[in-house]
Amino acid sequence: MKSLVFYGPGNVKIEDKEIPKIDENEVLVKVKAAGICGTDRHIYRGEAPARTQVILGHENAGEIIETGRQVRSLKKGDKVCIDPNIFCGQCYYCHRGEVHLCKELQAIGVTRNGGFAEYLVAPATNVYKVKENVSYKEMALVEPLACCLHGIDLAGIRPGDFVVILGAGAIGLILLQLALHSGASEVIVSEPNSKKRKLALKLGASKVFDPFNDNLEKEIKIIKREGADVVIEAVGNIHTFKQSIQLARKGGSVLLFGVPPKDKVIEINPFEIYKRELKLKGAYINPFVTDRAVRILESGMVNLKKLVTSQYTLEELPNVLDGNLDESNVKSLVIY
């Protein structure tokens, strides 16, 4: 089978590999669509770790070809999407049910072979059956959708709340839709790219701002003197981290969802956190949320199709990882 193998920073190769064998608790999946994510680029550039000689690709959807002897919940022919994260069950975090913080976390497409290949092996525990009405394209986005769902669970938006989202990439645009589906009565989005701002409006934003030309803080004071009940950072930039704290109302929550650079620091004023009784919360991947993400896919309540702006073949992938994306690009897929 054709596969994209990672040999270290800047070094990936398309190779022909044997179709892998499965264990009694695993399934073999014919990959139909796989998302390309910021993390894949980070790995390619050596900014995020991955096992050498691994097949990359952690956002995967496909069809089941074979099931292990012990697998009862799935069968040949099932349309499935895959949660890449495999927890150990034995560590401090697994014992507390905080499995995403597992000390021995494995991930399909990072520490074991992933979906940038024609076939993929996954433990049955990580495979979710999806109804016929959903396309493989949408299914390939279940992992980012699930991450956003975990973030939304932490954000604590209540119907009627006023929400601000910084960033309208794929993640910001999913979070926007989930914020609306959590009852936000107004969602303001800040995003420099005008095409993405337009998309945000189409997907339900009440208002959009360009962070480089508008005065967001001032505008928000006009709209809502108190500031936002919930602010979500979805850029991964340290400036927007600072900004997100400023935009929250007294008693408000700030969800820090973007992945900031490892070594950068920001200055915060602890007195503000006390006096305004703020809650700042990190969000890390997707524990126990993929089933609900699949139900959301099936219901059609979140528009993921509009987010897919480019599609590639596996052969094009090395160039895609190497090159620069058009900045209006929202989400790219590999289609088989």
Ligand X SMILES: NC(=O)c1ccc[n+]([C@@H]2O[C@H](COP(=O)([O-])OP(=O)(O)OC[C@H]3O[C@@H](n4cnc5c(N)ncnc54)[C@H](OP(=O)(O)O)[C@@H]3O)[C@@H](O)[C@H]2O)c1
Q: What part of residues 126-145 is at the interface with ligand X (CB under 6 A)?
A: 144
Q: How many CB atoms lie within 10 A of CB 123?
A: 19
| Binding flags for Zn ion, 32-71, as an x/- string (CB under 5 A) | ----------------------------------------
- Residue (of 207, 220, 255, 257) closest to 237 by Cα position: 257
Which residues partner with 125 through β-bridges? none
Q: Which amino acid is at 99?
A: V
Total binding residues toward Zn ion, as defined by CB under 5 A: 5
3-state secondary structure of 289: coil
Which of these segments, 6-14, 184-192, 217-225, 301-309, binds ligand X (CB under 6 A)?
A: 184-192
Determine the Cα–Cα distance for residues 155 and 282; give it in Å rounded to an integer: 10
Q: For Zn ion, which stretch binds (CB under 5 A), given 12-20, 33-41, 102-110, 262-270?
A: 102-110
Q: Rounded to an integer, what distance in angstroms lies between the CA atom of residue 12 and that of residue 82?
A: 23
Decide whether 23 or 214 has the Cβ nearer to its own copies.
Answer: 23
Judged by CB under 6 A, the stretch of 9-17, 25-33, 186-194, 293-301 that binds ligand X is 186-194
d(CA 85, CA 101): 10
String of contacts with its own copies for each residue 291-330, x by CB under 8 A? xxxxxx-xx-x-----------------------------
Single residue of 41, 288, 303, 311 touching its own copies by CB under 8 A: 288
**How deeply is 230 buried, as exposed, middle or buried, from its count of CB atoms within 10 A (0-12, 13-18, 19+)?**
buried
The C-alpha angle 163, 168, 173, rounded to 5 degrees, equals 75
Residue 125: contacted member of its own copies, ligand X, Zn ion, none (CB under 5 to 8 Å, by partner type): its own copies
From candidates 53, 88, 133, 264, binder to Zn ion by CB under 5 A: 88
SS3 204: coil
Is residue 164 near ligand X by the rule CB under 6 A?
no
Residue 154 to residue 71: CA distance in whole angstroms: 33
Report if residue 216 touches its own copies, rule: CB under 8 A: no
Decide if residue 284 touches ligand X (CB under 6 A).
yes
SS3 163: strand
Considering the complex, state which of residue 57 and residue 123 has its C-beta at the smaller distance from Zn ion: 123
Could you say whether residue 124 binds ligand X (CB under 6 A)? Answer: no
Bridge partner residues of 223 (DSSP)? none
Of residues 13-72, which lie at the interface with its own copies (CB under 8 A)?
A: 71-72
Pick the piece of the chain touching its own copies (CB under 8 A) from 110-118, 120-128, 130-138, 188-196.
120-128
Interacting partner of 238 out of Zn ion, its own copies, ligand X, none (Cβ under 5 to 8 A depending on kind): its own copies
Q: How far is CA 314 from the centre of its chain?
A: 21
Among 14, 259, 273, 335, binds ligand X (CB under 6 A): 259
Structure token pair of residue 87: 């927890």
Rounded Cα gap, residues 112 and 104, in angstroms: 13
The token duo for 30 is 């014919």
Question: 129 or 281, CB closer to ligand X?
Answer: 281
Among 15, 63, 66, 98, binds its own copies (CB under 8 A): 98
- Distance in angstroms (rounded) separating the CA atoms of residues 150 and 292: 10
**How many C-beta atoms surround the C-beta of residue 11 within 10 A?**
12
Looking at beta carbons only, is 155 or 170 nearer to its own copies?
Answer: 155
Where along the sequence are the contacts to Zn ion (CB under 5 A)? Answer: 87-88, 91, 94, 102
Where along the sequence are the contacts to ligand X (CB under 6 A)? Answer: 38, 144, 147, 166-172, 190-193, 196, 211, 234-237, 239-240, 257-259, 283-285, 327
